[in-house]
Structure 1
Amino acid sequence: MERWRTGCGAGLVLGGVVTNAFGWRWVFALQALAAVIIALAAVRCLPLGTQRHSRRLDLTGAGALVTAIILIVLSADMASRRGGGLTASVLIAAAVASGYLWWRRGRRHSGDAVLLDRSLLKVRGLRTAAVVASAFYFCVTGSLFLLPLYLQQVRGMSPASSGLAILPVSLAVAAAALLSGRLMKTRGPRPLLASGLLLTAGGVLLWCTAGAHSPYLGVVLVGLIVTGIGQGLAFFPAITATGLRDVPDQTHGTASALTTTALQIGSGIGPTVLAGIAQPLGSAGHATLSLPGHHLAYAAAAGLLLLIGLPVTARRNKIVH
């Protein structure tokens, strides 16, 4: 997990360099190219594994579940745009229909293997991990999407410089993750998860105090370090341990995938929703967000994390104790 988060930080730096040199469209083009290369390499290099059962995958149910997730992310994107409320409502209705189809397929007594066993959703620890992961990375990814824009549009940094300026968050994550692994043995995951949520939200709230001429070595850097420590404590490995605590050993892979999927949903929705929140306070340029817009978005990100993450974590504490 530490490597995954460090890779995200390296991606921010590389994305800034590519944007500065070739333009922002090349960032997406290179990601698509990398995905194709990795897929081809996986088919060629990875072992086939062993066939443990002869059941076929329920393609209809799997497709319905994946479609529902995609439609949820798209509906959030449309809802953040002016005049996109109707389209977002249609997409949400389609997502509900796809989710219902997946749910009905899961109730059928057929020989097909399902993509996600519905019984896992009854495990409280896994539900807690999924909800917290989604809210956590809604806040983290959305905020780290907006912060380089603040450095570029408000502070006048280049894309490459803003990418390098974000790098300390990955270093803080890696350092805190090493510490959290040791604390897990004596404290358990729950205190780490709660403290990580508070630190992450607190670091994002610090950016609400950043002005147009605030020095980088002030609240910007401190916020990066504080949020990085919070991420390292909360997600590596506290939230993972919370999700796997009450799950049977044979379903650990599926449970981890569910938590990761919830994380990715929050990561996909966070930037578009927070940018939509900041946009009404934008300056004259349509592509430029004003300083009050940034502040409002940071406050919304931290507020949602606290309102969702802390109560869910607190309920989990009461259940365990």
Structure 2
Amino acid sequence: MTEDAAANGRAQPARTGRVLAPLALAQFICSFAGSNMNVMINDISHDLDTTVQGVQVAITVFLLVMAALMIPGGKATDRFGRKRCFLVGLVVYGIGAVLSAAAPGLGVLILGNSIFEGVGTALLIPPVYILTTLLFTDLTSRARAFGVIMAAGGVGAAAGPLIGGLITSGISWRAAFVFQALVIALIIALSRTITDPLPPDPDRHFDVRGAVLSAGGLVLVVMGILAADNNLGLMLGLLAAGLLVLAWFVHWIRSEERAGREPLLSTSLFRDRTSNLGLITQNAQWLLLMGTSFTVATYLQVVRGYDAIETGVIFTAATLGVLASSLAAERLAKRLPQRTLIIAGFALAIVGIGVLIALVAGTPNPWAFAPGLLLIGLGLGVMLTPSVNVVQSAFPENQQGEISGLSRSISNLGSTFGTAIAGTILVANLTKNAYAAAMATLALGALAGLVTATRLPRGGPTGPAPANLPPQPPAAR
């Protein structure tokens, strides 16, 4: 090996690390934001003179804004550029974190955390996955990069309660938002090393009506779920309205394609069976992760009377589970098909829920939560990366903006459903039975994910490389 080649070989991991660091940190802080508030429920409700339901609304609206705007956010990257959207999203998110830290009441907290941070996340997360797909061109390096990013996301969601609990108990719940703002500043500084491999296309059509219809339909559906504990008629009305708006959205994008215009989403995204199945597994995984986090944290604080740090420490078991399986993800991916890893992950998580319900019902000991949370964490760490890789690798680079937005929207919709459904069951009747009912509902979601995973095609250790993986020429505008 020549000196130049050796130097290049040494430089490659460093360059890869410099590119991955801000992308992984971005996924970490957004996942952290989705779960760390779960351990602040009592502190925030007392400080802002609100209720547990009020804090649940703030958490759910944050997840909902992300899910509703992720598809338009992914599409915007084609027109304005991936790095530009990433940086704008970081700035908007940072403003939201500062507003939340200074919030005098629930309204400002919702504005900062739920709206600004939600919009910022919808702008910055799609570029994370698009840039990863474009910068890591072979399936092995892409799987490794997604492994790092998904591990960061899983750890952020699982460790959110612990880190949030430590900050809340040691300083204040407001300091947790200051922590987010500081991490955002660090990511902006690190992002100087990222280069956008494709130029923005200012003339690219942006489907405004499609964006409004998709977002409006998702908002109505989730609002219907949140209304379940108050008014059955209102719930059914909102759900029906949401489904009608989403049907209108599907009709609209088909009519746009027939007219030769570019819709918000191409219907071709839904013609790939493997990708469709992968999207369903992603939805189920995040429903399980965020639903478990909210249910267990709320039960520990409101029913058991634990403070933020005690609640966070109990969640260490889930964090360790995600870390352990994420660190082994690359070795597992070389030996086992992606389908097998996803199936194994769901199976572990379902067993974990069963253990969580059985042990908690049998003893008041807080450490009875640990075995079940550990198993759920192990399962999630095993399957998060392969599900993303299955979906992203199924499409060429000219569709990465669309599929990244759709993929993240589906995942965040799962997070929203998990918090809304389990939270509605739990908050409506804060008892041991309600806790078991909420966890059992999450188990049904995980079971649906398991059944879906069994229908994924069999393949080699890294899964079958899609025929359309190499870069394609840009689609006709």
Change in 2 beyond 3 A, CA 1:278/1:162: same
The answer to whether the aligner puts 1:202 opposite 2:351 as a matched pair is: yes
Name the structure 2 match of 1:100: 247
Instruction: Give the AA of the match of 1:292.
Output: N
The answer to whether the aligner puts 1:277 opposite 2:425 as a matched pair is: yes
Identity rate, percent: 24
- Whether the 8 Å contact between 2:162 and 2:313 is mirrored in structure 1 is yes
Q: Partner of 1:316: helix, strand, or coil?
A: coil
Q: Deviations over 1:160-208 (max 9, x none)?
A: 2202321332232122112122211221101100000011111122111
Asked which structure has the greater RCO (Cα within 8 Å, sep 6+), the reply is 1
CA distance in structure 1 between the partners assigned to 2:361 and 2:302 by the alignment = 12
1:313 to 417, 431, 453: 453
Alignment: residue pair count: 302
The answer to whether the aligner puts 1:175 opposite 2:324 as a matched pair is: yes
Q: Partner of 1:260: helix, strand, or coil?
A: helix
Question: 1:282-297 maps to which residues of 2 (within 5 A)?
Answer: 282=429, 289-297=430-438
Deviation at 1:112, TM superposition (A): 4.7
Q: Partner of 2:242: helix, strand, or coil?
A: helix
The answer to whether the aligner puts 1:220 opposite 2:361 as a matched pair is: no
Instruction: Give the AA of the match of 1:291.
Output: K
Deviation at 1:30, TM superposition (A): 4.2
Question: 1:18-37 maps to which residues of 2 (within 5 A)?
Answer: 30=177
- Whether the 8 Å contact between 1:192 and 1:233 is mirrored in structure 2 is yes
The answer to whether the aligner puts 1:300 opposite 2:441 as a matched pair is: yes
Q: Where do 4+ consecutive residues of structure 1 move more than 6 Å?
A: 21-24, 44-49, 318-321
Change in 2 beyond 3 A, CA 1:18/1:75: farther
Name the structure 1 match of 2:338: 189
Instruction: Give the AA of the match of 2:435.
Output: H
Q: Which deviates more, 100-109 or 193-202?
A: 100-109
Deviation at 1:9, TM superposition (A): 3.3
Change in 2 beyond 3 A, CA 1:30/1:245: closer
Name the structure 2 match of 1:166: 315
Question: 1:69-108 maps to which residues of 2 (within 5 A)?
Answer: 69-79=218-228, 81-83=229-231, 85-107=232-254, 108=256
Deviation at 1:277, TM superposition (A): 2.6
Question: 1:8-19 maps to which residues of 2 (within 5 A)?
Answer: 8-17=157-166
CA distance in structure 2 between the partners assigned to 1:291 and 1:186 by the alignment = 42
Q: Which runs of 5+ in 1 are unaligned?
A: 283-288
Q: Which runs of 5+ in 2 are unaligned?
A: 1-149, 465-477
Q: Deviations over 1:81-116 (max 9, x none)?
A: 132x22222222322232233223212245654322
Name the structure 2 match of 1:250: 398
Change in 2 beyond 3 A, CA 1:201/1:253: farther
Deviation at 1:279, TM superposition (A): 4.8
TM normalised by structure 2 equals: 0.56
Instruction: Give the AA of the match of 2:390.
Output: T
Deviation at 1:21, TM superposition (A): 7.6
Q: Deviations over 1:31-63 (max 9, x none)?
A: 9x959x88xx79x98989723362320111111
CA distance in structure 1 between the partners assigned to 2:333 and 2:170 by the alignment = 43
CA distance in structure 2 between the partners assigned to 1:171 and 1:5 by the alignment = 11
Q: Partner of 1:52: helix, strand, or coil?
A: coil
The answer to whether the aligner puts 1:264 opposite 2:426 as a matched pair is: no
Supply the RMSD in Å over aligned alpha carbons: 3.2
TM normalised by structure 1 equals: 0.81
